Amino acid sequence: MTREKTGGRSKGTPNKVTQDVRELFSELIQGNISQIHKDLALLDSYQRINALIKIAQFIIPKPTENHLSINSPEDFQKVVFEFGNPVDVWNTLPKEERLKIFDNETRGSY
């Protein structure tokens, strides 16, 4: 059960504190970039790669997994229109979703 929002930020409005912290961290990194290069050079290859992977998590966003929910041919058509190739869309659906759509089509109800 979802409730109606009655206060707080509007949808899509960035969090000011998070934005400020990111800017401060970015300034900190930019101000120490030469030292970071020196420190990385002192590490062996395994440690250097490990450090870069850990740093990358703050720079490159992790991909998120999206799940499509399609309950009718109309839903499928909307998704295909938005995302393209119907085969690609069909293949992204979990097996349970594909079986549900197929079952609905063979019974003639949605």
What is the structure's pLDDT at 97?
78
CA atoms of 110 and 103, how far apart (whole Å): 9
pLDDT, tens digit (0-9, with 9 covering 90-100), for 37-61: 999 999 998 888 888 888 887 777 7
Q: At residue 95, does pLDDT exceed 90? A: no
The answer to whether 15 and 9 have CB atoms below 8 angstroms apart is yes
Q: At residue 89, does pLDDT exceed 70? A: no
Of the pLDDT bands very low, low, confident and very high (cuts 50, 70, 90), residue 22 is confident
List the domain boundaries for the chain.
16-59, 73-107
DSSP string, 62-85: PP--------SHHHHHHHHHHH--
| H or E element that contains 5 | none
Among 38, 47, 108, smallest CA distance to 73 is for: 108
Q: At residue 85, does pLDDT exceed 80? A: no
